[in-house]
Chains A and B, each alone.
Chain A
């Protein structure tokens, strides 16, 4: 059984935001109005976290991409009252949009605030509507959504691999963020495959996971910036 994980190299990451744009386009994520954005209702599956440290003039900016970490011991799945969020055998945390009742308990339970909510019926500007991704179903108002590691791409790759009677190759299934990153800072693959890049990078001395002490066992591994 593959175990899908992501490695984000903070040394290579320039904070350009390409991953966010690619994610929004790939997954038909709603684009909220500026007023709503000011109210804190932006919908980012891949979020670019920006942290300012220090006092002027010695300000340091920390920017790092934060998708859903698809934890191995997720705090969000035990609390869902209707089985709308669940962990599948390949380690992906799924979200069943048609079953979600919008109680937002999973959002409140996630220590990484990785989930977002459809506060209104999702809308897109007209220009966006011409490039919807037909592989991803749009969501409706009142449901929770989050990064899915582009699971629709996995389904396609699985179909291809099955029809050709072979295993999925390393780097054949990549989410949109990983594919679009101009510096190749985002790696993605199967942790169970000892030959994969992701497996080897995860054992690097620079590797760390966010909030490891909580025991959530996130499957997005960051590589520290080289000093």
Chain B
């Protein structure tokens, strides 16, 4: 595989990674929008807030785990010799 292909693949990986974050941030924005609607209509805003306090951390944590793995794998570790390609 030549380095041109490698570059394209690296770019595609970055794009998909960013898309994942856009998805998660989109969900957070959606939930915040719903909270604001419920406050405006005085429609049990406490419930909306309560649900968001659980839901938003869950999504953000999942995104952070993926981020940790993504950058963790990329990190060049010079102190350890590369194992056999068995993985």
Q: Give me the interface of A with B, judged by CB distance under 8 Å.
A: 78, 83
Distance in angstroms from A71 CB to nearest chain B CB is 16
Name the A residues within 8 Å of B44 (CB-CB): 78
Chain B contact residue count (CB 8 A cutoff): 4
Would you give 4 A-B contacts (Cβ < 8 Å), ordered by A?
A78-B44, A83-B37, A83-B41, A83-B43
What is the distance, in angstroms, from A129's C-beta to the closest C-beta of chain B? Answer: 38
The residues of B with any CB-CB pair to A shorter than 8 Å are: 37, 41, 43-44
Instruction: State in angstroms the CA–CA spacing of A11 and B52 once bound together.
Output: 52
User: Which residues in A have their C-beta under 8 angstroms from that of B41?
Assistant: 83
User: How many Å from the CB of B70 to the closest CB on chain A?
Assistant: 34
* Chain B nearest CB, measured from A63 CB (Å): 38
A78–B38 CA distance with the chains assembled, in angstroms = 12
Q: How far is the CA of A78 from the CA of B37 in the complex (A)?
A: 14
- For A83, list chain B residues within 8 Å (CB): 37, 41, 43
| Bound Cα distance A83, B41 (Å) | 10
Report the separation of the CA atoms of residues A83 and B37 in the bound assembly, to the nearest whole angstrom. Answer: 10
* Alpha-carbon gap, A78 to B41, bound state (A): 13
